[in-house]
């Protein structure tokens, strides 16, 4: 089982143990494919279960096309997966030096659409031994649906991306029911309105807290979900207030919110802490609100207003 944690609160989520993940030919693609005679040695050859290391005799080796100077292979795992390691089999009859200068990247979304990858491991300038099975263990605990083998350097047109077989070891991880998942982030968008304090309590009951959005990726994801699902006029409480001093906006754990692009147009207060804060600074809680152009922005609202709310929890790394 996998603990779902946020600031010491644990929520248990089912997780399959680290196992070899089966990959079908339909789940792989590549920048190009090498053709020899009547055979095209596409990425499906890297997941066909064949470990013969002779290119011609065994007919089970994947290679990109000669002249492809930015070769890559993509794998769609079908769901969010925590990657443990990737094992690659190198060709033995010749050309084993080609399995080098490769970054194993993990993406939450299809890498052809861009995005910032998590790095699992790197195959350096020294390739694994000819005919060997070499396991590359992931640094950290990358979670994503897509894997890209990105050959970042080629010495000439013949320095293609080439490998006999690829085996992925990992475990499928999922957020609780009715949550939206971004990597190890689990977002819950409420279907009802309540005050700020009640919204925070509801999130806490689920083992999470009001969403403390800290990255552009989190902001973009939340905006995408809201744009697709929220109705006009809805606002969503998030884990940010200036209740401590009625001046600086802070996340619920106390650190100051850096006012930047995705937190706009939220601005710090200009007054001092008042003995009558409700009258002097009536809008001390932050919410996501849609402007006239349809864009989601951070706005200050009265904490006793009833709004929808957004919870966020983080999938914790597996315990031994």
Structurally, the chain folds into a number of domains equal to: 2
- The set of residues, in sequence order, having a beta carbon less than 8 Å from that of 318 and lying 6+ positions away, is 2, 15, 82, 141, 171
Note whether 128 and 210 are same-domain residues.
no
Residue at 243 is within a domain: yes
Regarding whether 50 and 9 lie in a shared domain, the answer is: yes
120 found inside a domain = yes
Note the Cα 60 to chain centre separation in Å: 32
Same domain, 162 and 189: no
Residues 231 and 304 in one domain: yes
List the CATH number of the domain containing 89: 2.60.120.260
**pLDDT tens column, 224-267:** 999 999 988 999 999 999 998 888 999 999 999 998 889 989 88
How many angstroms separate the CA atoms of 245 and 241, rounded? 10
For residue 208, the domain's CATH number is: 3.10.100.10
Same domain, residue pair 118 and 22: yes
pLDDT value of residue 320: 46
97 close to 133: Cβ distance less than 8 angstroms:
no
Same domain for 240 and 278? yes
Among 104, 138, 172, identify where a domain stops. 172
Q: What is the pLDDT of residues 36-50, one digit of tens each?
A: 989 999 999 999 999
Which of 145, 172, 199 terminates a domain? The answer is: 172
- Full domain range(s) for residue 127: 2-172
Q: pLDDT digits over 68-91, tens only?
A: 999 999 999 998 899 999 999 999
Mark whether 199 and 81 lie in a shared domain. Answer: no
pTM value > 0.85: no
Last residue of a domain, one of 172, 188, 212: 172
Q: What is the pLDDT of residues 279-304, one digit of tens each?
A: 555 789 999 999 988 899 999 999 99
Q: Decide if 320 is inside a domain.
A: no
Residue 199 neighbours by CB under 8 Å, 6+ apart: 190, 210, 237, 307, 309
Let me know whether 18 and 95 are in one domain. yes
CA distance 42 to 33: 5
Q: How many CA atoms lie within 13 A of 22 on its CB side?
A: 1
Biggest CA–CA distance in the chain, Å, is: 84
State whether 116 and 242 are in the same domain.
Answer: no
Contacts of 53 (CB under 8 A, 6+ apart): 61, 89, 90, 91, 92, 93, 130, 131, 164
- Mark whether 41 and 95 lie in a shared domain: yes
Indicate whether 232 belongs to any domain: yes
Cα separation, 281 vs 245, in Å, equals 10
Lowest mean pLDDT among 46-55, 58-67, 134-143: 134-143
Q: Which residues contact 283 (CB under 8 A, 6 or more apart)?
A: 300, 301, 302
Tell me if 125 is assigned to some domain.
yes
In a domain, residue 262? The reply is yes
DSSP-derived letter for residue 46 is G
Residues 230 and 212 in one domain: yes
Domain match, 197 and 242 both: yes
């Amino acid at each position: 089982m996998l603990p779902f944690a946020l600031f010491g609160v644990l929520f248990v989520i089912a997780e399959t143990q680290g196992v070899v993940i089966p990959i079908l030919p339909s789940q792989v693609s590549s920048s190009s494919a090498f053709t020899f005679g009547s055979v095209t040695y596409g990425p499906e050859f890297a997941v066909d279960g064949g470990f013969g290391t002779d290119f011609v005799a065994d007919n089970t080796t994947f290679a990109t096309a000669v002249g492809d100077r930015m070769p890559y292979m993509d794998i769609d795992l079908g769901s969010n997966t925590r990657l443990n390691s990737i094992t690659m089999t190198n060709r033995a009859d010749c050309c084993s030096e080609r399995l080098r200068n490769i970054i194993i990247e993990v993406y939450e979304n299809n890498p052809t659409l861009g995005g910032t990858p998590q790095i699992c491991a790197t195959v350096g300038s020294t390739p694994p031994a000819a005919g060997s099975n070499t396991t590359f263990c992931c640094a950290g605990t990358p979670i994503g649906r897509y894997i890209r083998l990105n050959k970042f350097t080629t010495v000439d047109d013949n320095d293609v991306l080439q490998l006999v077989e690829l085996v992925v070891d990992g475990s499928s991880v999922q957020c609780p029911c009715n949550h939206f998942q971004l990597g190890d982030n689990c977002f819950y968008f409420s279907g009802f309105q309540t005050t700020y304090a009640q919204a925070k309590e509801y999130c806490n009951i689920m083992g999470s807290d009001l969403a403390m959005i800290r990255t552009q990726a989190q902001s973009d994801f939340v905006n995408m979900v809201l744009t697709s699902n929220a109705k006009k006029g809805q606002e969503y409480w998030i884990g940010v207030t200036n209740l401590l001093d009625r001046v600086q906006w802070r996340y619920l754990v106390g650190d100051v919110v850096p006012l930047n692009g995705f937190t706009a147009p939220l601005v710090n207060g200009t007054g001092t802490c008042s003995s009558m804060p409700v009258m002097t600074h009536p809008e001390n809680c932050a919410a996501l609100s849609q402007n006239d152009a349809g864009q989601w922005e951070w706005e200050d609202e009265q904490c006793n207003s009833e709004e929808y709310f957004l919870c966020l929890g983080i999938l914790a790394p597996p315990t031994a």
